[in-house]
Amino acid sequence: MSFEYSEKVKDHFRNPRNVGTIKDADATGRVGNPVCGDMMEIQLKVEDNVIKDIKFKTFGCASAIATSSMVTEIAKGKTLEEALEITRQDVADELDGLPPIKMHCSNLAADALHAAINDYMEKQEKGITQLGEDEYEVAVIGGGAAGLAAATISSYVGLKTVVFDGGQWGGMLNKFCPDKLIENYPGLTDKMTTRELTQSLLDDARKQEAKLVNEHVNDVEIEIDSDFKTLTTDSGTYKARMLVLASGSSPVKSGIPGEEKFAMDDGGIFYLTADPSRLTDKRVLVYGRGYNALSTAGCLGGIAASVTLATDEASFMVPDREMDRVKCIEGLKMLTSTTLLEIQGAAKIEKAVLEDQNEGERVEIIVDAVVLATGMVPNVGLMEKLGVEVDESGFVKTDKYQRTSLDGVYAIGNVASDIDLLVVAEAQGTIVAHDAYRKLRGG
Which residues partner with 308 through β-bridges? 285, 333
Active-site amino acid positions: 36, 105
Q: DSSP letter string over 167-185?
A: S-TBTHHHHS-TTPBP-SS
Which of 85, 22, 44, 140 lies closest to 428, judged by CA? 140
β-partners of residue 250 are 377
- Residue by residue, DSSP assigns 205-241 as HHHTT-EEE-S---EEEE-TT-S-EEEEETTEEEEEE
CA distance 44 to 130: 13
- Count CB atoms within 10 A of the CB of residue 389: 11
Give strand pairing partners of 121.
none
Nearest partner of 71 among 35, 41, 105, judged by Cα: 41
> Quick one: CA dihedral 287, 291, 296, 300, positive or negative?
positive
Is the Cα dihedral 144, 145, 146, 149 positive or negative?
Answer: positive
Per 3-state DSSP, the chain is made up of helix, strand and coil in percentages (nearest 5) of 30, 25, 40
Helix (H) or strand (E) holding 335: strand 332-335
d(CA 412, CA 385): 18
Torsion of CA 101, 103, 106, 109, to 10 degrees: 180
Q: Bridge-partner residues for 29, per DSSP?
A: 42
Q: What is the DSSP letter of 130?
A: P
Distance CA 240, CA 229 (A): 5
Determine the residue type at 334.
Answer: M
